Amino acid sequence: TRLSSRFTHANSFALRSHTCGELRKSDVGRKVKLSGWVQFQRLNKFVLLRDAYGVTQLVVPDEKLDILNKIRNIPLESVISADGKVAARPPGQDNPKQLTGEVEVILDDIEVLSSSISNLPFTVQESPKVKESLRLEYRYLQLRHESLQRNIRLRSEIVMKMREFLVRVHGFVDIETPTLFRRTPGGAQEFVVPTRTSGKFYSLVQSPQQFKQLLMVGGFDRYFQIARCYRDEGTKANRQPEFTQVDIEMSFTTKENIQRLIEGLLNHVWPEDMGRIPIPFPEMTYKDAMKNYGVDKPDTRFDNLLQDVTELAKASEIFRLFGSSEIANFAAIAMVFKSSAALVSKSAEESLLESAKMTTDKTKLSFVLIRMQDGNKWKSSLTKKLTQETMNSIGDRLGASAGDVILLGLGPRESLVPSMGKMRLELANHLETLGVKLRSNTNNFLWVVDFPLFLPSEELDGGPLQSAHHPFTAPRPEDEHLLRSSPLDVRGLHYDLVLNGSEIGGGSIRIHQSDVQEFVLKEILQEDPINLLHLLKALRCGAPPHGGIALGLDRLMSIICETKSIRDVIAFPKSLDGKDPMSGAPTSISEKEKKMYHIGVVQNK
């Protein structure tokens, strides 16, 4: 860790002269005072003292019996402060792995500030390997580990740099907006908060979206906020009931201006030791992303693109086998992983094909894994049913050769494409666990644009259209005339920011014309405008054109810190089920509180 060098002022107002990561050979002879945790001790003579900044070796001189008595049997993780003199370590005893490894502190005295229990549930060093429920229960122990110290401190540093860039370089104003508000129609499920007025509830905001637009109407033309947001989605792998977004909005701007602002922002905060990021970021349409990657957040660090072989399939016996007239919009899509045939075991193949069917309309989808052999011979479950001519035409089109793996998917295009996108990632992950290097060693930022503004209803009986993102996104000007006639063909001025296949942000130019907003809400989405009356009214009072973006800070930090979960970049995360194993939250409340908030607990099955 190189953190210590960044925090040179960490000793002001503190009962220490130096941190435990600070002393060097040039300090030899200096009288110092250190405070920290006993990480290790040996022979009642050597103590390894740790704080957030590093470790320093303390040495008890033989004649100091009083110190000896204090540290004898002192439990590890006890807190002490130590006075002493810096000395060079004896020849041959330097520890090059420690920043302070050339020196030690010969003790004059120590004070035991807080004695730890001796039976800690786990040691700080082993904490990353402890099962998560126990780690979260004793989160304060794990927080002492250098990996979490690094993640949380780097998060602070990156947020600080964001602020400096936005405020000092570009004149943005940091404005706090309420979290106790009223329900936003059409978004995620929002937590509710009962009040002392019977039957009246606040909702916890899922984003400052409405407020930031109202700020634009209110003349704050360059707003940002590191904003706490809330969503009750059940806790998914990379979700938390509360999370943080970098929330930005500007008036009198364009999509491209906001994109350039964000590129500048990320370039400014990107850790130096991770290399520079190339800006501007490339841009890809939603259509191309889906076509080539089967997903709207492509991981462009590797190719293995989806290839459409529908025409070839239709011209062959495949159509008869899989594409009977029952399947509307039949498609055949394939992708090739070169020289991978020997790396996909039968069981890997089965779990890969199974996973693709998990989330989609499995009755109409078929997937085949083909191991290519010499002469366009396919080793696959399909081989017997196909003519060599068909295998030739597809194999040639794909440029596949002996030793390659082809994944071929067949079925309705709408469900086939995302399944193929999923399999592309899963097969790549599988190959990489076996040591194949598929992904480039880069950080691939990507703008995905030209999303449709609306999606068909998810209801079977065909309810009103839904917003692809949210009801405030403006249509592309050249598509605006289609709003009435053909709303599903309208593309929005929305932009998603993708990093290495993860969506880390999204934003749009907003609708600033009250009549357009009203039409979208009432006529297209068929929402009750009562929930957004304040916004509609505001747009009638002189609303500047405006747009913005929100970056998911937890996810961004997780990628920067290379952690498996966003929980590793949050000081006190909830567990997957939304609980806090440390405090036991959530808990029951008192009858007095139930009465105060006019609520009763109802047992639903």
Selection from 239, 235, 237, 215 nearest residue 225 by Cα: 215
H/E segment holding residue 512: none
Q: Name the minimum Å distance from CB 132 to a copy of itself.
A: 16
Q: Which residues contact 433 (CB under 8 A, 6 or more apart)?
A: none
Q: Give residues 270-299 in contact with a copy of itself (rule: CB under 8 A).
A: none
Q: What's the chain's Rg over C-alpha atoms?
A: 30
Which residues, 405 to 424, sit near a copy of itself by CB under 8 A?
Answer: none
Q: Least Å distance between CB 505 and a copy of itself?
A: 16
Alpha helices in 519-565 (DSSP H): 533-539, 553-560
For residue 327 the two structure tokens come to 């399947």
Counting contacts by CB under 8 A, is residue 147 touching a copy of itself? Answer: no
Task: Rank residues 81 and 355 by Cβ distance to a copy of itself and give the closer one.
Answer: 81
| Dist CA 105 CA 190 (whole Å) | 55
Residue ranges in 270-371 assigned as alpha helix (H): 286-293, 310-314, 317-322, 346-358
Which amino acid is it at 250? Answer: M
Instruction: Select 462 or 584, whichever has its Cβ closest to a copy of itself.
Output: 584
Q: Beta-carbon neighbour count of residue 150 at 10 Å?
A: 15
The token pair at 548 is 């913005």
Binding residue (CB under 8 A) for a copy of itself from 108, 308, 414, 580: 580
Peptide bond into 586 cis (omega under 30): yes
Q: Does 153 bind a copy of itself (CB under 8 A)?
A: yes
* Distance in Å, CB of 471 to a copy of itself, minimum: 15
Q: In the range 68-97, which residues lie near a copy of itself by CB under 8 A?
A: 75, 77-79, 81
Site for a copy of itself in 213-252 (CB under 8 A): 214-215, 217-222, 228, 230, 232, 234, 241-242, 244, 250-252
Burial profile 235-245: b = 16 or more Cβ within 10 angstroms, e = fewer: beeebbbebbb
Among 413, 418, 427, residue whose Cα is nearest residue 336 = 427
Closest CA to 174 of 227, 243, 219: 227
Q: Identify the CA nearest to 202 among candidates 211, 193, 189.
A: 193
Least CB distance from residue 79 to a copy of itself, whole Å? 5
Query: Is residue 429 close enough to count as binding a copy of itself by CB under 8 A?
Result: no
Applying the rule CB under 8 A, the residues between 298 and 357 that interact with a copy of itself are none
- Segment near a copy of itself (CB under 8 A); pick from 187-195, 388-396, 440-448, 453-461: 187-195
Site for a copy of itself contains 192 (CB under 8 A): yes
Token pair for 553:
């800070």
Range 120-129, long-range pairs (CB < 8 A, 24+ positions): 120/75, 120/76, 120/77, 123/76, 123/77, 124/37, 124/39, 124/50, 124/77, 125/39
Applying CB under 8 A, the site for a copy of itself has a residue count of 137
5 near a copy of itself, rule: CB under 8 A? no
What residues numbered 10-39 form the site for a copy of itself, per CB under 8 A?
10, 12-16, 35, 37-38
Q: Considering the complex, state which of residue 29 and residue 584 has its C-beta at the smaller distance from a copy of itself.
A: 584
> Which one of the spans 93-101, 188-196, 382-390, 400-408 is the region binding a copy of itself (CB under 8 A)?
188-196
Using CB under 8 A as the binding rule, whether residue 140 contacts a copy of itself is answered as yes
Considering only residues 166 to 185 of the shown chain, the ones binding a copy of itself according to CB under 8 A are: 167-171, 173-183
Candidates 93-101, 364-372, 560-568, 584-592: pick the segment binding a copy of itself (CB under 8 A): 584-592
Query: Which residue from 32, 453, 539, 556 is in contact with a copy of itself, where contact means CB under 8 A?
Result: 539
Interaction between residue 203 and a copy of itself (CB under 8 A): yes
**Length of the chain, in residues:** 605
Alpha carbons 165 and 158: distance in angstroms, whole number: 11
Euclidean distance between CA atoms 350 and 477, whole angstroms? 47
For residues 195 and 466, which CB has a smaller minimum distance to a copy of itself in the complex? Answer: 195
The CB-of-102 to a copy of itself minimum distance in angstroms stands at 24
Q: What is the footprint of a copy of itself within residues 518-537 (CB under 8 A)?
A: 534, 537
Segment 103 to 122, residues that bind a copy of itself, using CB under 8 A: 113-117, 120
Question: Does residue 100 belong to the site contacting a copy of itself (CB under 8 A)?
Answer: no
CB-wise, 262 or 318, nearer to a copy of itself?
Answer: 262
**In this structure, are residues 514 and 567 in contact, taking their beta carbons and an 8 Å threshold?**
no
Shortest distance (Å) from residue 566 CB to a copy of itself: 12
Assign residue 462 a region (left: φ > 0; alpha: ψ between -120 and 50; beta: otherwise).
left
Instruction: For a copy of itself, give the closer residue by CB, 434 or 533.
Output: 533
Among 156, 329, 359, 387, binds a copy of itself (CB under 8 A): 156
Of 48, 107, 141, 499, which one interacts with a copy of itself (CB under 8 A)? 141
Q: Which stretch binds a copy of itself (CB under 8 A): 301-309, 335-343, 364-372, 575-583?
A: 575-583
Q: Does residue 513 belong to the site contacting a copy of itself (CB under 8 A)?
A: yes
CB 467 within 8 A of CB 473: yes
Name which of 143 and 438 has its Cβ closer to a copy of itself. 143
CA distance 505 to 552: 6
- Which parts of 254-273 interact with a copy of itself (CB under 8 A)? 254, 257-258, 260-261
Distance CA 111, CA 83 (A): 9
Least distance (Å) between residue 104 CB and a copy of itself: 21
